[in-house]
Homo-oligomer: A and B are copies of this chain.
């Protein structure tokens, strides 16, 4: 398989670290792949852009940090401004159209989706924005199967919140259709 080098970026409280762990666990536990997930917190993290890295591969992964992502997700303008130039040529850039304006040209497939707006309109809870983003990511790529993410949700989310998370994931999957 292609090696996926993913950076999920945005601000604190958007659920980026949780989403990145769910993605890594779906790959490992339900698809038999290898994965590494990490985040660095430094001066930049305090008030700046939050960033989590995930590498998924069927072979061994020696270095846990992503320098040039082939998939970049940016959920704030600050994160987009900071990371969009690091994307590999031919990669995928996914942004949320409520929070980010595409301001420069990058040599990548750029997809702007109204994930936050759809979650707020249909569910009304910002807490599942990150799961909607995972749905869009899975809809746009061959990273892992939707079924594998759903199995992680079932194992990690308390029963009373599971339907809401499944709905957010499905909204993301549908937003990605046709892109």
> What B residues does A24 contact at CB under 8 A?
39, 41
Partner pick for A64 among B28, B46, B60, B65, CB 8 A cutoff = B65
Chain A positions 41 through 73: 1 when the CB is less than 8 Å from some CB of chain B, otherwise 0: 111011000000000000011001100000000
Q: Provide the bound-state CA to CA distance between A40 and B34, in Å.
A: 8
Q: Is the interface of A mostly helix, strand, loop or mixed?
A: mixed
Q: Identify A17's interface contact among B21, B28, B42, CB under 8 A.
A: B21
User: Is A76 interfacial (CB-CB < 8 Å)?
Assistant: no
Q: Are B38 and A36 in contact (CB under 8 A)?
A: yes
Pairwise interchain contact A41-B46, C-beta atoms closer than 8 A: no
Query: Would B34 and A37 count as touching, CB distance under 8 A?
Result: no
Q: Are A36 and B40 in contact (CB under 8 A)?
A: yes
* A-B contact list, 13 entries, CB within 8 Å: A17-B21, A24-B41, A28-B46, A32-B46, A34-B40, A34-B43, A35-B42, A36-B39, A36-B41, A37-B38, A38-B38, A38-B64, A42-B60
Residue of B nearest to A36 (CB): B40
CB neighbours (8 Å) of A38 from chain B are 36-39, 64
Chain B proximity mask over A1-32: 1 for CB below 8 Å, otherwise 0:
00000000000000001000100110111001
Interface size class of A (residues with CB under 8 A): 20 to 34
Of the candidates B28, B40, B46, the one whose C-beta lies within 8 Å of that of A45 is B28
Per assembly, the copies of the chain total: 2
Closest to A24 in B: B41
Is B28 in contact with A41, judged by CB distance below 8 angstroms?
Answer: yes
Question: A28 to chain B: which residues have CB within 8 Å?
Answer: 41-42, 45-46
Report whether A42 and B37 are in contact in the complex, using a CB–CB cutoff of 8 Å.
no
CA distance A67 to B28 in the complex (A): 22
Residues of B contacting A39 with CB < 8 Å?
24, 36-38
